[in-house]
């Protein structure tokens, strides 16, 4: 039985001084438990779409697998909310990391603490600094991603993420959890042998430290967002060599870190001054 992505619910809508009883479209929240080599490993709360991509990307992001071929077998059982995964091997992890964890769909502290065990081992700086995208591309890709998400248009209750190059979107994913949307992209690319290193992540949500770390794990040097970054994410972006661009709206955007990858930033002296004032 396939899980529904959307459901309808009757609501009281107040508008222009009047109250109406209307049907509203609501996104589904779905828990899936990963059973890794016979043991419960983690429970993800997500949108019930592209679940195999999500599981593969999550395991890669957490350092359990390095490539899709490390997985011997994977079965998604939607009726029971289980993902049964058998791997050829498991990368060595802290024993505490093997215990079952509940990973919330929210973007708060509970999710953040989950990453501290293995981030230092799996995240490496992005070395290449070639110009890869123009100012115009930033606006165009953001608009294309947002306008192409029918679920977002209907509900406003999901995050969108897309892997892009300057020519357009290569793959786009949607989920109630912004981290899940990125994991779905990661898993899809691993499954289909798509190189991510010379690409750009376009993202609808806030650039948190967690999102920044995931972008680094995917090995993208540029992340574009219509929202704001956090202070810690910008420190990480500087340390990891990632170009962070936020508040991409209408005809304005902010380039926070590593502007050398952006084509069309006028004023070389200003760009150099920005680099010298980067966060320590």
Q: Are 118 and 216 in contact (CB under 8 A)?
A: no
Q: Are 265 and 255 in contact (CB under 8 A)?
A: yes
Helices (H), the chain: 51-61, 109-114, 119-122, 135-148, 150-155, 178-191, 209-218, 231-240, 268-276
User: Residue 265: what pLDDT?
Assistant: 80
Residue 8 lies in a domain: no
Residue 1 pLDDT exceeds 50: no
Residues 147, 240, single domain; the answer is yes
Residues 111, 171, single domain; the answer is no
Residue 114 pLDDT exceeds 60: no
User: Residue 211: what pLDDT?
Assistant: 92
For residue 198, the domain's CATH number is 3.40.140.10
Catalytic center residues? 107
Residue 137 lies in a domain: yes
Reported residue count of the chain is 280
Tell me which DSSP letter residue 201 carries: E
Is pLDDT larger for residue 152 or for residue 33? 33
Q: What is the pLDDT of residues 174-186, one digit of tens each?
A: 999 889 999 999 9
Q: What is the pLDDT of residues 241-279, one digit of tens each?
A: 999 999 998 889 999 999 999 998 855 555 555 555 554
Q: Are 55 and 82 in contact (CB under 8 A)?
A: no
Residues 97, 194, single domain; the answer is no
Residue 200 lies in a domain: yes
CA distance 146 to 224: 12
Mean pLDDT of the chain: 84
State both tokens at 156.
């406003």
User: Residue 153: what pLDDT?
Assistant: 67
CB atoms within 10 A of CB 160: 22
Residues 268, 172, single domain; the answer is yes
User: Residue 83: what pLDDT?
Assistant: 98
User: Residue 9: what pLDDT?
Assistant: 84
User: Of 169-173, 199-203, 225-229, 269-273, where does mean pLDDT reach its minimum?
Assistant: 269-273
Read off the pLDDT band of 155 (50, 70, 90). low
CB atoms within 10 A of CB 120: 8
Residues 35, 57, single domain; the answer is yes
For residue 72, the domain's CATH number is 3.10.20.10
Angle at alpha carbon of residue 47, lines to 29 and 175, rounded to 5°: 120
Read off the pLDDT band of 112 (50, 70, 90). very low
Q: How many domains does the chain have?
A: 2
Residues 264, 187, single domain; the answer is yes
Domain boundary (91, 122, 153) is at: 122
User: Residue 235: what pLDDT?
Assistant: 93
Binning the chain into helix, strand and coil, the percentages to the nearest 5 are 35, 30, 35
Residue 45 pLDDT exceeds 70: yes
Residues 153, 115, single domain; the answer is no
Tell me which DSSP letter residue 225 carries: E
Tell me which DSSP letter residue 116 carries: T
Residues 92, 112, single domain; the answer is yes
Residue 13 lies in a domain: no
Domain range enclosing 246: 133-276
Residues 99, 40, single domain; the answer is yes
Domain boundary (87, 122, 157) is at: 122
User: Residue 151: what pLDDT?
Assistant: 73
Q: Please state the rounded mean pLDDT for residues 206-221.
A: 92
Domain boundary (100, 122, 144) is at: 122
Read off the pLDDT band of 227 (50, 70, 90). very high
Residues 236, 186, single domain; the answer is yes
Alpha carbon 35 to its chain centroid, in Å, reads 22
State both tokens at 125.
């700086």
Q: What is the pLDDT of residues 52-101, one digit of tens each?
A: 999 999 999 988 999 999 999 999 999 999 999 999 977 655 434 544 44
Residue 59 lies in a domain: yes
Residues 186, 263, single domain; the answer is yes
Residue 142 pLDDT exceeds 60: yes
Q: Which residues contact 88 (CB under 8 A, 6 or more apart)?
A: 69, 70, 71, 72
Is pLDDT larger for residue 141 or for residue 117? 141
Residue with tokens 């994913």: 173
């Amino acid at each position: 039985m396939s899980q529904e992505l959307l459901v309808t619910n009757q609501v009281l809508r107040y508008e222009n001084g009047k109250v109406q009883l209307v049907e509203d479209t609501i996104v589904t929240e779905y828990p899936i438990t990963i059973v890794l080599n016979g043991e419960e490993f983690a429970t993800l709360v997500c949108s019930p779409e592209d679940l195999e991509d999500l599981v593969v990307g999550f395991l890669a992001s957490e350092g359990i697998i390095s490539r899709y071929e490390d997985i011997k077998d994977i079965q998604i059982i939607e009726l029971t909310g289980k993902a049964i995964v058998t791997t050829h091997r498991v990368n060595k992890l802290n024993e505490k990391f093997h215990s079952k964890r509940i990973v919330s769909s929210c973007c708060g502290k509970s999710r953040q603490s989950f990453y501290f065990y293995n981030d230092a081992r799996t995240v490496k700086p992005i070395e290449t600094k070639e110009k890869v995208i123009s100012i115009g591309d930033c606006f165009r890709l953001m608009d294309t991603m947002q306008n192409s998400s029918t679920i977002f248009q209907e509900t406003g209750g999901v995050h969108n993420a897309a892997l892009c190059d300057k020519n357009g979107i290569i793959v786009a994913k949607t989920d109630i959890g912004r981290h899940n949307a990125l994991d779905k992209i990661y898993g899809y690319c691993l499954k289909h042998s798509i190189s991510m290193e010379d690409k750009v992540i376009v993202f609808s949500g806030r650039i948190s430290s967690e999102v920044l770390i995931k972008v680094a794990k995917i090995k993208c040097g540029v992340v574009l967002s219509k929202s704001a970054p956090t202070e810690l994410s910008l420190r990480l972006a500087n340390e990891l060599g990632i170009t962070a661009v936020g508040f991409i709206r209408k005809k304005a955007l902010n380039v926070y870190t590593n502007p050398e990858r952006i084509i069309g930033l006028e004023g070389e002296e200003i760009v150099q001054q920005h680099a010298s004032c980067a966060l320590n």
